[in-house]
Amino acid sequence: MARLYEYQGKQLLKGAKVPIPQGEVVTTPQEVRKIAEKIGKPVAIKSQVWAGGRGKAGGIKFANNPDDAEKVAKDLFGMEIKNLKVEKALVEEKLNVDKEYYVGVIIDASREVRAPVVMFSTEGGMDIESVPAEKIAQINVDVLRGFRLYDALNLCVKLKVPTKVLPSIAQAIMGLYQTFKGYNCRTAEINPLIQTKEGKIIAGDCRMAIDDSSVFRHPELGIDVAREAPTPPTEFDKIAWWIEEGDLRGTCYIAQMAPDKKGLGYVGYHGIGGGGAILGVDALNRQGLKIANYADTSGNPTAAKVYRAAKVIISQPDIEGYMLGGFIVANQEQWHHAHGVVKALREELPKRPGFPCVLLLCGNKEKESMEILKEGTADLQNPIEIYGSDKVYETEFLAKRMRALIDEYRKKRGIKA
C-alpha cells in the first residue's frame, strides 16, 4: 500500500468537505513559529512519520505561543520515532476536545463479504482493536448500489449519537467514504473524529493508504513507489520500482531488507514466485545468512525485466553472494530467466572476483534453461553452482552450499569465517 502522511490525507478529506483543523506542514522550527503566529492560538505540532503511537513516542508537542512552538519544534526535528527520522511537521490549531469518534473504511476479503466495510465508533482516539464490539457499528457496502448518506446516518443512530451533531458526523463519514472510493484507498481512517466544545466536528488525525495497483490513476498524489512498505522508499526501492512501473509483462518485486548492511553474511536474494521464494529465505537464515533484499520475478516476465532485477540485486555493495532461489517447478518458460540472469552475471561478476553464486531454476523449458546458464557462465572465473528440479525442495542443501561458498570467499579475502 502506498501510504499517505497525515497532512496529505487531510488535504484529500478537505476536498471531500470534511472539516480539518487550520494548519500547515513545515520542515524547520522557524517555519513552525511562522505558522503558529499565523494561527494566533495554541497549537499542536505533529511529526509526520509512518508510525502508529506517535503521541506516546513524543512525536506530538503542544505550545501556547509562537516562542514555545519554535522551541519544542527544535526537539522534534531530527528525532527518531520507531527508527523513522522526523523531517516534516504539521502545525495545527489545538482543538478543544469534547468527544472523540472513530470512522474507518477497510476492505474485507472474506468470502461472505468481498467488499468495503464502513466502521464507526463512539470510542475514538484509541486503537479500534481495543474497542468493545457493542461500541462499533459497521456496514458492508454493496459497491453497485454505493454508500448512501442514510447509511451513514443509520450508523450514527445505531450508537445513539446526539441529534444535534448527528448530521455533521454523518457528513464526515460520507466524506471519508468518498475519499476512499475517489482515491482508490486500500484503507482510510479518521481517528479521532473530534467533536469540539464549540460543537464542531473536525478530523483530528487520519491514516490512508492508496491501493498499489490504482496509484497510476492518481499522478496528482506524487507517489514515487507504488509498493507496500513499512518505511518510505529508499533509492534502491526507487530503482526497483522503475523496473516494474512501465512494464506489465510479469512481475518484478524487489524490496530492500537491510538498508545499512552492517557485518557479514548478507546475500543478494533473487526469488521466483512468492511462496517458494519465502522457503529459500527460511533456509538461508538457518545457515546464519541474511538477505540484503527480497525479490520475486514471476508471472512470466521478459528476459529484459529479469536482467534489470538481477543486475540491481547483484550490484548491491557489501553482499557476499547471490542466490537465484527458483524454488518452484514453474509453468513459465524459464529460459527468459536464464537469459536475463546470464546477462547480469556477465556484466557484474568480473567486477567482483571470487564472489559466489548459487542458481536454482526449475520448470518449463528447464533443460534449455540449464544449457543457457551453463554455457553463459562457463568462462566466468567466479564459483557458480547451477541446480535444477531434483533440488527444488532441497532448501537446506542449497543454503548450505551458499554458506560453504561464502566461507571460501571469506578465506580468499582473509576474513575469518
Partner 1 sequence: MAILLEKNTTILVQGITGREGSARAAFMKGYGTKVVAGVTPGRGGEEVSGIPVFNTVEEAVRMKGPIDASVTFVPGPGLKDAVLEALDAGIKFIVMPVERVPLYDILEMMAYGKQKGARLLGPGSIGIISPGIAAAGWLGGTPEFAKRVFVPGPVGVISRSGGQSGTVPWAIQQAGLGVTTVLHIGTEPVVGQSFGDILPLFEADKDTKGVAIFGEIGGPYEEEAADAVRTKKFTKPLVVYVAGAWAPEGMRFSHASSIIERGKGSAKSKIASLKEAGVHVVDRPDEIAPTIKRLLKA
Among 228, 318, 371, 375, binds partner 1 (CB under 8 A): 228
**Which residue spans within 156-199 are E strands per DSSP?**
185-196
- Nearest approach in angstroms of CB 10 to partner 1 is 22
SS3 222: coil
Residues in the interface with partner 1 (CB under 8 A) total 59
* 45/206 with CB nearer partner 1: 206
The residue from 87, 331, 350, 415 that contacts partner 1 (CB under 8 A) is 331
- DSSP class of 229: -
Three-state DSSP string of 44-66 = EEEECCCCCCCCCCCCEEEECCH
- Candidates 57, 60, 72, 107; binder of partner 1 (CB under 8 A) is 107
**In the complex, least distance from residue 15 CB atom to partner 1, rounded to whole angstroms:** 18
Quick check: 133 binds partner 1 (CB under 8 A)? no
The dihedral of CA 325, 331, 334, 337: what is its sign?
A: negative
With CB under 8 A as the contact rule, the residue among 214, 234, 315, 316 that binds partner 1 is: 214
* 269 beta partners: 323
Residues whose CB is less than 8 angstroms from the CB of residue 218 and which lie 6 or more positions away in sequence, other chains included? 183, 184, 210
CB of 301 to partner 1, least distance (A): 11
Q: DSSP secondary-structure letter at 112?
A: T
Site string for partner 1, 165-204 (x = CB under 8 A): ----------------x--x-x------------------
Instruction: Choose between 92 and 366: whose C-beta lies nearer to partner 1.
Output: 366
Nearer to partner 1 by Cβ, of 8 and 298: the residue is 298
- Told to check if 144 binds partner 1 by CB under 8 A, we report yes
The Cα–Cα gap between 371 and 375 comes to: 6
Rounded CA gap, 324 and 74, in Å?
47
How far lies 96's CA from each of 99, 168, 199, 240, in Å?
9, 17, 10, 46
Considering the rule CB under 8 A, would residue 288 count as an interface residue with partner 1? Answer: no
Query: Please, how many CA atoms are within 13 Å of residue 24, restricted to the half-sphere of its CB?
Result: 13
Question: Closest CB to partner 1 among 229 and 264?
Answer: 229
* Binding residues vs partner 1 (CB under 8 A): 1, 107, 109-111, 114-116, 129, 142-144, 181, 184, 186, 211-214, 216-217, 227-230, 248-249, 251, 253, 255, 272-279, 281-282, 285, 294, 296, 298-300, 327-333, 363-365, 389, 392-393
